[in-house]
A and B are shown apart, each in its own frame.
Chain A
Amino acid sequence: MPLLPLAGGAIIALVAATFAFPWLEFVLTLAIAKGLAALGVAILLRGGLISIGHAMFFAIGAYATAFAMRDFGITDVFALILISAVISLAAGLLIGVYVVRYRAIFFAMLNLAISMVLFSLLSKFYGVTGGTDGLRVGTPTVLGMVLEAKAVATFLFYASIAAMVLAGFAVNAYFKSPLGEALSAVHTNEIRLEYLGIPVRGVLLIAYGLSALLAGIGGTFAAMTIGHVLPDMAYWTDSGHLVLVAVLGGISGIGGPFVGAVFLELVHTLAAGVTDAWNMIVGTALLGVIFFMPKGLIGFIRPAKKGDAA
């Protein structure tokens, strides 16, 4: 299939760019971290659900990393990713059991509300969470090796690419599986699904758990890359950005959220140096996408396929 070489080419381009501009390494690692979370949001969009609270799982992944380091002395990067993944998945299933009963605006608002509760808990419980100052995240070790910060940053960049590729394949397989197709079907006809004997809430809960897992993995990468976690990671504007990134990039496939995240992060970094109007640039880009490219930015590189819903 022609998509694989395309994606491969894009990844090689990303890597090459960091050789030309080493400062890009940090920006791109963060972009991919947010892309993972946006992919989570895109999964729910398949089922017709918009979550304006998914930054909470990004924050849960990030804080899980910080706590594991501070309170349990765990420093290995793989152990930290695994712990954060398990905790964000568990949080996703727990919150999911409750929110998948709701649809449309109620679902969106419930996610928002829960994320705001988490935000204020993180901000207020100074003794545990460091309050609005957040927590420091030290430089992790890699399989027992203590590397200098620069080497770890580079390692995290490549690890995030690996995570992106793995997540891409996994989510692609999920979308094509019976469960993934059932998720798309929730969007158009819950009654028929029930009459096929398919539990709609179960289908949505799995999607929700998976989306929380991806957001949490994004969060742990962000925590280790930035070296700091803040309550702001759970703030609703960040959740809004994840939805924006997913729609901007294109929700029809796997690549979209990552294309959107890299675009947003680059515009942010480049334009913020020149003007503080970067939000306007992003807003205009989003308008352009909505009006002219319903498939998102990825529609540029990925030709329309037969069977794609227009």
Chain B
Amino acid sequence: MTVLLEAKNLHITFGAVKAANGVDLHIDEGEFLAIIGPNGSGKTTFLNLCTGYIRPSEGEVYLDGKPITRLPPRTIARKGIARAFQIPQLFLDQTVLTNLMLAIASREGLWQMGKALDRPAYRDEAMALLAMFNLADCAPTLASTLPEGRRKLVDIAIALALKPRLVLLDEPTSGVSALERFALMETLMGALRQAKVSALFVEHDMDVVERYADRVVVWEAGRVMAEGKPETVFKDARVIENVIGVA
């Protein structure tokens, strides 16, 4: 297995909170890695650190063995790491279709004068992605008028539209009812597997983790407290007490 992304000894403090307190973690190519952990333990902070949104006070992040710690988010995005957010980040004044086509255009090169964004190739690709998430009927809707659950899906679709090598998903199933959760994960993981995209997902639903993660990392107070295959980790008494008990 080749290591795709690796974090070494990341530290960051917000006031009195140590949101990252010596994080060591790696994700292999093709792997589906889950992160679980109590609220406020620093999971989202870790994604922020990996994508250049915030910089660690100490430690490094490597992509393909090369440091990316001090690069801005757009450069890291161009290197093939896409992100879907815990709170969806959409272009609210534009339609869902335009949201997706912008992601596609960015991937294909934005600097093309005189050609409309709305062109058949982009439109078809965007519609195919939307259809995959049962969002086809939302295409002409303004993103601001979408219900929260659907925004979450559009946010994920935007990340996939970039055709990344690695996608970071912050609680992808949180806006979805328990009933639809597995259907969504089935679609998502199917698409990722097919496109050979590695994935790191923060997840609160232990059943989802057990079923879809190759490996799970347990977060506590800004650091990794346990890791391994879901079936082993979930038997760990400390994990049961600290995480599964409260999650």
Residue of A nearest to B95 (CB): A307
Can you name 19 extra interface pairs (CB under 8 A) apart from A181-B101, A189-B89, A194-B74? A173-B116, A177-B116, A178-B105, A178-B110, A179-B113, A181-B94, A181-B98, A185-B91, A185-B102, A188-B93, A188-B94, A191-B53, A191-B73, A192-B89, A195-B77, A196-B103, A198-B74, A307-B95, A309-B93
- A selection of 7 A-B contacts at a CB cut-off of 8 Å is A177-B117, A178-B115, A182-B110, A184-B91, A184-B94, A192-B89, A196-B103
Measured between beta carbons, the chain B residues less than 8 angstroms from A196 are: 74, 77, 102-103, 106, 158, 162
Which B residues are in CB contact (< 8 Å) with A177? 112-117
Q: Which residues of A contact B (CB under 8 A)?
A: 173-174, 176-182, 184-185, 187-189, 191-199, 306-307, 309
Chain A residues whose CB sits within 8 angstroms of the CB of B74 once the complex forms: 193-199
Instruction: Name the residue of chain A whose CB is nearest to the CB of B116.
Output: A176
State whether A181 touches B89 (Cβ < 8 A): no
B36-84 with Cβ < 8 A to chain A: 51, 53, 72-75, 77-78, 82-83
By the criterion CB–CB under 8 Å, are A179 and B110 in contact?
yes
CB distance from B196 to the nearest CB of A (A): 20
Instruction: Work out how many contacts link A and B, with CB atoms closer than 8 A.
Output: 95
A189-B92, A191-B89 given as contacts; is B102 within 8 A of A181 (CB)?
A: yes
Question: In the assembled complex, how far is the CB of residue B106 from the closest CB belonging to chain A, in whole angstroms?
Answer: 4
Q: In the complex, what's the smallest C-beta–C-beta distance from B217 to chain A, in angstroms?
A: 23
Given A195-B51, A195-B73, A196-B158, is A178 in contact with B90 using a C-beta cutoff of 8 Å?
Answer: no
Q: How far is the CA of A194 from the CA of B75 in the complex (A)?
A: 8
- Evaluate whether A192 and B105 lie within 8 angstroms (CB atoms) in the complex, with A179-B110, A197-B78 already known: no
Residues of B within 8 A of A182 (CB): 102, 105-106, 110
| Chain B neighbourhood of A173, CB < 8 A | 113-114, 116
Q: Quick one: which of A176, A184, A196 has the most chain B CB within 10 A?
A: A196
| B135 close to chain A: CB less than 8 A | no
**Cβ-based interface call for B111 (8 A):** yes
In angstroms, Cα B116 to Cα A173, docked, is: 7
Docked CA distance A191–B73 (Å): 9
CA distance A173 to B93 in the complex (A): 19
B233 contacts the other chain (CB 8 A): no
Shortest C-beta distance, A254 to chain B (Å), equals 15
Would B106 and A198 count as touching, CB distance under 8 A?
yes
Indicate if B148 sits at the interface (CB-CB under 8 A): no
Given contacts A177-B115, A179-B111, A195-B82, contact A187 B73 (CB under 8 A): no
> Given the known A-B contacts A178-B102, A194-B77, A197-B106, are A189 and B90 also in contact in the complex, defined by CB atoms under 8 Å?
yes
With A178-B105, A191-B89 already in contact, the answer to whether A197 and B112 are too (CB < 8 A) is: no
| Contact yes or no, A187 B162, CB < 8 A | no
Closest 5 CB pairs of A and B: A178-B105, A197-B77, A192-B89, A185-B91, A196-B106
How far does the alpha carbon of A192 sit from the alpha carbon of B102 in the complex, in Å?
Answer: 11
B244 at the interface (CB under 8 A from A): no
Query: Which residues of A sit under 8 angstroms from B93, Cβ to Cβ?
Result: 184-185, 187-188, 309
Which of A189, A195, A309 interacts with B142 by CB under 8 Å?
A: A309
Q: Are B73 and A194 in contact (CB under 8 A)?
A: yes
Who on chain B is nearest to A48 by CB?
B93
B75 contact set on A, CB distance < 8 A: 197
* B140 on the A face (CB < 8 A): yes
Question: What is the distance, in angstroms, from B168's C-beta to the closest C-beta of chain A?
Answer: 10
Name the A residues within 8 Å of B236 (CB-CB). Answer: none
Q: Is B118 in contact with chain A by the CB < 8 A criterion?
A: yes
Whole-angstrom distance between the alpha carbons of A193 and B105 in the complex? Answer: 12
- The residues of A that contact B94 with a CB separation of less than 8 Å are 181, 184-185, 188
Quote the shortest CB–CB distance from B152 to chain A (angstroms). Answer: 14
The CA-CA distance from A187 to B106 in the complex, in Å, is 17
Residues of chain B contacted by A185 (CB below 8 angstroms): 91, 93-94, 102
Shortest Cβ distance from residue A305 to the other chain B in the assembled complex, whole angstroms: 12
